[in-house]
Structure 1
Amino acid sequence: MRFKIPAIFICIILYLSSLGCEENEPLPDQVPPELSLVGFTDSTILPVEGIVTITADANDNTGISKIEFYIDNSLVFTDNNEPYEYEWDTAEHSNCALHKIKVIAYDNNLNFTGIEHYVFIVNLNLSEINVSCWYTSGINEPKLERKSDKYFGTSSCSSPSALEVNISTNEIYQEIEGFGAALTNSSAWLIDNSTRREEIMDKLFSPDSGIGINYIRLAMGSSDFVQGEHYSYAETPNDMDLSEFSIERDREHIIPVLQDILAINPDIKIMGSPWSPPGWMKTSGQFVCGSHWDSRLKTEMYSVYADYFIRFIQEYAIEGIQIHAITIQNEPLYCPWDYPGLYMPGDQQRDFIKVLGPKLAENGIDTEIVIFDHNWDDSEQTGAFDYAEVIYDDPIALSYIAGTGFHGYGNGEASMQEMVYYLDPTKAIYFTERTNFTGWTNWDQVLSHIAKYYFIDVIRYWSKNVLLWNLALDTENGPYNGGCPNCTGVVTVEDDYFEKEIDYYIIGHFSKFVQQGANRIYSNTFEGELETVAFQNPDGSLVVVTLNPGWNTLRYKINWNDMYFNHSLSPQSMATFIWEP
């Protein structure tokens, strides 16, 4: 049977068929923006005060059209341009109460994402005691930058979810002598030959325009960080009266740099440390240990070697440079194969002190003697406590020493210092060496590692000072002659190149604010969460250093004299506060 299909149906079928033959049109964008609030975490009720900057971090593949800011469900501001921020004056809302911040981000297709956080307003009744605040981030900028001043105040309410740091001058601990690093032969050579010498000196040693380093260490003769050949001050064999004693190599760069340092900071303290006696005074007959790992000071050389120390102190005094302290031997339990060193066990150091001490007194020299000058004990390397105990148990040797010095290498911890401190609390603890190095895989953690283990912990466990290793090295971590090929300096210097490394800023958080003669005072600390140490300066001002070694922003309050102020500290960062009562 045949039949006809009306033309109109044919047209409809053809139209529908044509739709099926075209490519599928893309669906409209339905993906909402990504949104977060800077400095806020989901689980924390933040204490806030004053003017609070709420910063939204938003992005979307089609772009952001607007950001809406709400306080307690009321729209207070709309921002169409980056940075997406709202300055919230918390004084316009009820104090001592919870408030809700809500932010909504819209993309260009009107997809949106919302986020909410609760805060607790604590606006203090402010005193007139203002607190200056200096901040360094270990992840990015800023570095040792002054932030807005804080003010101590009181409030009828307490901030939730905030750590409380208590400061008290009723508990006073050790006196502080200073913070700095070692002016090695290499460091002095680099600084002295730099086209930016004056700027470098100013940034290192001026307390106003720099970080005010106030303690430095010298190698007596060469260490592994020397420009050129190794040297001692008495190169002529069997020169028992030291008629050929000479510090001429030091006069080339070390002494001119030191004299200019003293012109900037006349009160700087200087500690001298020998890496080795002249080779002819040793059982190996060699200045560099080489294969003679147990190369020792000959017993018949005790007297002439004591004279060697005295001549060093006297020759430097002629140049206008006073040596505040000396250590008997750098790292006495290690004699390196490729740079100067000496193996000097505790009983030998004890006996030598009983020769050196009287000679210093006979010559009217009040330079202090510091023993050991080597690593903390740990599970693999021991000897520090036993070494010190041998000397502390001898009343004569003990009467001539000021205390014990430590290095921060190996797996030991600063808590070990306390064991030696309590052998005789009238004797001091010193921290005389730690280097940074190029082996870090994550530089974000360098600040918190160095600041915690080699500054805050060291001071909390009784040290009167903190000294890092090379003050300056070049872009290839030298010059060096043996020893460490990947050590870094506090600053990097080469001709007209000058770069401040992270150690510079860490030192500055202490040396710029903690005066010589300050005392550590009580502050509680939160191990691994919020690290603290506090000081009272001779002029009465108070200094608190705080460190956040973690990866979340910390909120805390600093309590003092029945008042407090609130602060937040970003991950991997530190802050120093200073105020006058």
Structure 2
Amino acid sequence: MHLRCVAIVAIVLWVGLSESGTPCNSRRFNHDSVVCVCDENFCDTLDPIEPTARGLLNVYESDRAGKRLEKREVQFGNDLPGPIFWNVNLERTERFQEIIGFGGSWSDAAAIGLDRLSPDLRTKVLRSYYSTEGIEYSTARVVISGCDFSNRPYTYDDVTNDWELNNWSLVEEDVNMKIPQMHEAVRHAGKPIKFMGSSWSPPAWMKNNGELNHGGQLIGNAGSYEWKQYARYLLKFFQAYRAAGIDFWGMTVQNEPMTGWDPWFPWNTCGFNAEMERDFAKLDLGPIMEEGGFAPGNFSIMVLDHNRPLALDWAITVFSDAEASRYVAGLAVHWYFYGTAGPYQVYDNIHTRFPDKFILGTEACNRNEIDGDHIGLGLWYLAEDYAHDILLNLLHWVGGWTDWNLVLDDEGGPNWVGNTHSAPIIVNPGAGEFYKNTQFYAMAHFSKFLPPGSIRIGASPGVEEEGTVELGAFERPDGGTVIIVINSSDMEQYFNLNDADLGVVKVKVDPHAFSTWVYYR
């Protein structure tokens, strides 16, 4: 048995969070684990990560039994009863990718869910995600006009044949919800957030099927007037947000472009293949974004924004073209069908071929598929699925992982086509509370401890793609060392961590637990 290298989840209980923040107000909803409940009077918090005394290691653990980021201190040179299953050696000279960040997404559903909360509860949600007393998200994906997680189908210009875009305008969800909420998130973060935009569909009249859904592609071809006007349609979004005080770090060319070739696809989409995205980027989108003030080096255009089996073809097609490559900074990937989508080593191949291009996870969500209760409050496997995928992505040159909806309501929406799902936070405005679901703490074990600029370093034992025990090691920009362990087995696991300067520390990880270790030399 071998270890798999990376980072993983977190969760909280009334008895948890030893000497760290305020504990979780736990509640069980007929599933195998708990949620943490926040209301007007109480919400669990975390302390900022501070350097430890030399020889001291902080362990943060969450598990199926109910611990949520419970903190304990362990001394190097300790003697812990129990067998040693794993001897872990750090290889600090082996340095891999830099962390870009972790975060969630402002869909209309998320914006509406936040808007329906009281100002105090909304602040608690945003602080839980973006502040140092929360899990310190550093990225956010923002939907450009509508998607399935909207309460209606629409775009920013639904006046037929308005190719000059005279009727283009933001909508209520942008002006009254997303923009104020994003400003508040930035205030709580106290540092820049990497906002990235993604479009699901152009206006229906720009497509050859005349619909937002049911597949369809842009009228015309790369370099045509129609494609240039669609690029200007997208540019207007970034300019409008900039005028409102929100600057974007990047964008994806198209959300899940291969769904646009399915004539039965039920929600907003537009079809591109790799060659079309390559040509759109170099002939239309890239130059027009640059002319509009969003130039390479200051603004990151990403291609694909779809699942792993497509990644290598997309990378070769786009990055091998010098003109397209000048405008395209990286590859955006989604997690769907991660268990059957082929080996994660494809990202190693892409990095080897194109080491100057980053890879970033840009969407993931799941739901309870057991009993039809899609939001699955307290369902542990929802968290384990997140953690495993984040782990394997980070172990194979992916620089971060952005979740889908920041919040959803207690029915898993709104969603205009009924495609309801779970989310890390579920809001219940009628009860005056919201619930931090298990996925929230899965995200926390990465986002809280791995700020942008962290570097993955080598750790042995090596990587097993389908193991029940996984481990990864990182160095923070402030010099801290972070070890993240996933134990999805039914047994306690014992580790000897060997540090060349500090010696050996023995750490126990409980069954079905995520454990993050932090220390400074």
Normalising by the residue count of structure 1, what TM-score does the alignment of the two structures yield?
0.72
**Aligned runs of 1:350-499 on 2, under 5 Å?**
350-354=278-282, 355-365=284-294, 366-377=298-309, 383-410=310-337, 411-412=340-341, 413-440=343-370, 443-452=379-388, 454-482=389-417, 484-485=419-420, 487-495=421-429, 496-499=432-435
Q: CA deviation at 1:423?
A: 2.6
Q: Counterpart of 1:459 in structure 2: which amino acid?
A: L
Tell which has more relative contact order, 1 or 2 (C-alpha 8 A, sep 6+).
Answer: 2
Partner SS, residue 260 of structure 1: helix
Partner SS, residue 414 of structure 2: coil
Map of 2:149 onto structure 1: 225
Partner SS, residue 437 of structure 1: coil
Map of 1:347 onto structure 2: 275
User: Cα deviations across residues 398-422 of structure 1 (Å, max 9, x unaligned)?
Assistant: 1211111111112214333223223
Q: Counterpart of 1:346 in structure 2: which amino acid?
A: A
CA distance in 1, matches of 2:217, 2:235: 23
Compared CA separation, residues 316 and 519, structure 1 to 2 (3 A): same
Indicate whether 1:508 and 2:444 are aligned: yes
User: Cα deviations across residues 161-204 of structure 1 (Å, max 9, x unaligned)?
Assistant: 33012223211111111111111111111112212212222212
Gaps of 5+ in 2: 1-52
Partner SS, residue 477 of structure 2: coil
Among candidates 446, 454, 459, match of residue 523 of structure 1: 459
Contact between 2:303 and 2:332, CA under 8 Å: does it hold in 1? yes
Map of 1:295 onto structure 2: 217
Partner SS, residue 464 of structure 1: strand
Partner SS, residue 456 of structure 1: helix
Among candidates 88, 91, 100, match of residue 177 of structure 1: 100
Contact between 1:430 and 1:463, CA under 8 Å: does it hold in 2? yes
Partner SS, residue 269 of structure 2: coil
User: Cα deviations across residues 372-407 of structure 1 (Å, max 9, x unaligned)?
Assistant: 010111xxxxx4322332112211111211111111
Compared CA separation, residues 164 and 483, structure 1 to 2 (3 A): farther
CA distance in 2, matches of 1:197, 1:161: 45
Map of 1:331 onto structure 2: 256
Q: Counterpart of 1:569 in structure 2: which amino acid?
A: V
Among candidates 137, 145, 168, match of residue 70 of structure 2: 145
Q: Counterpart of 1:484 in structure 2: which amino acid?
A: N
Among candidates 217, 228, 252, match of residue 176 of structure 2: 252
Q: CA deviation at 1:269?
A: 1.0
Contact between 2:57 and 2:76, CA under 8 Å: does it hold in 1? yes
Map of 1:37 onto structure 2: none
Q: Counterpart of 1:488 in structure 2: which amino acid?
A: S
Q: CA deviation at 1:297?
A: 4.7
CA distance in 1, matches of 2:59, 2:257: 41
Partner SS, residue 515 of structure 2: strand
Q: Counterpart of 1:251 in structure 2: which amino acid?
A: V
CA distance in 2, matches of 1:179, 1:165: 26
Partner SS, residue 128 of structure 2: helix
Q: Counterpart of 2:92 in structure 1: which amino acid?
A: T
Q: Counterpart of 1:135 in structure 2: which amino acid?
A: E
User: Cα deviations across residues 225-261 of structure 1 (Å, max 9, x unaligned)?
Assistant: 01x3222122223323322221133112111111111
Map of 1:285 onto structure 2: 210
CA distance in 2, matches of 1:535, 1:186: 34
Map of 1:204 onto structure 2: 129
Contact between 2:98 and 2:399, CA under 8 Å: does it hold in 1? yes
Q: CA deviation at 1:503?
A: 0.8
Compared CA separation, residues 160 and 327, structure 1 to 2 (3 A): same
Contact between 2:380 and 2:438, CA under 8 Å: does it hold in 1? no
Gaps of 5+ in 1: 1-126, 378-382
Contact between 1:414 and 1:457, CA under 8 Å: does it hold in 2? yes
Q: Counterpart of 2:324 in structure 1: which amino acid?
A: A
Partner SS, residue 149 of structure 1: strand
Contact between 2:100 and 2:452, CA under 8 Å: does it hold in 1? yes
CA distance in 1, matches of 2:366, 2:125: 20
Which range is displaced more, 366-375 or 192-201?
Answer: 192-201
User: Cα deviations across residues 193-227 of structure 1 (Å, max 9, x unaligned)?
Assistant: 212212222212212x211111111111111001x
Map of 2:6 onto structure 1: none
Partner SS, residue 516 of structure 1: coil
User: Cα deviations across residues 71-127 of structure 1 (Å, max 9, x unaligned)?
Assistant: xxxxxxxxxxxxxxxxxxxxxxxxxxxxxxxxxxxxxxxxxxxxxxxxxxxxxxxx9
Contact between 2:218 and 2:227, CA under 8 Å: does it hold in 1? no
Partner SS, residue 223 of structure 1: coil
CA distance in 2, matches of 1:463, 1:418: 9
Contact between 2:487 and 2:511, CA under 8 Å: does it hold in 1? yes
Partner SS, residue 55 of structure 2: strand
Flag the structure with higher strand content.
1
Q: CA deviation at 1:294?
A: 4.0
Q: Counterpart of 2:300 in structure 1: which amino acid?
A: E
Contact between 2:84 and 2:496, CA under 8 Å: does it hold in 1? no
